[in-house]
């Protein structure tokens, strides 16, 4: 007869003394890696939001400066328009009459706009009041 050893079992079973091969990492290693990835993500997100806030603050500052300069220029132009209207009307109405007409028109426009603004504010305020009263 033959003295050759028998081949290993074909059923996929391992002998009791053999260790199973490891998959490469344990659950603890996976949790530590997940925690480190989470920390890295949070640091990256924090840096991104910080740079975004700096960018928005810079743009907001520049926008505010441009808006103030625009307001000053528009205000100066309106003063020029009022002075021009007084000068243009003075030969017809005298200087005091022209001043009174221009001031009256400006006051009337101011009152109309103030009443419209007040109506808008009242509408907005009525949104937040109780309807059951």
Residues 34-71 have pLDDT tens digits of 999 999 999 999 999 999 989 888 898 999 999 999 99
Q: Where are the domains of the chain?
A: 27-125
User: DSSP state, 127?
Assistant: T
Alpha helices in the chain (DSSP H): 27-126
Q: Write out the chain's pLDDT in tens, 133 residues.
A: 556 665 555 555 555 555 555 556 788 888 998 999 999 999 999 999 999 989 888 898 999 999 999 999 999 999 999 999 999 999 999 999 999 999 999 999 999 999 999 999 998 888 877 665 5
Tell me, what DSSP letter sits at residue 6? P
């Amino acid at each position: 007869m033959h003295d050759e050893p028998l081949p290993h079992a074909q059923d996929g079973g391992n002998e009791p003394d053999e260790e199973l091969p490891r998959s490469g990492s344990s659950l603890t290693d996976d949790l530590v890696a997940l925690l480190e990835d989470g920390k890295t993500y949070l640091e990256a997100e924090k840096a991104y939001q910080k740079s975004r806030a700096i960018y928005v603050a810079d743009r907001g500052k520049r926008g505010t400066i441009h808006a103030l300069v625009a307001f000053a220029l528009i205000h100066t132009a309106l003063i020029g328009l009022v002075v021009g209207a007084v000068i243009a009307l003075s030969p017809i109405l005298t200087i005091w009459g022209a001043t009174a007409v221009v001031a009256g028109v400006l006051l009337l426009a101011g009152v109309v706009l103030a009443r419209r603004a007040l109506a808008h504010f009242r509408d907005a305020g009525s949104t937040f009041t109780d309807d059951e009263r």
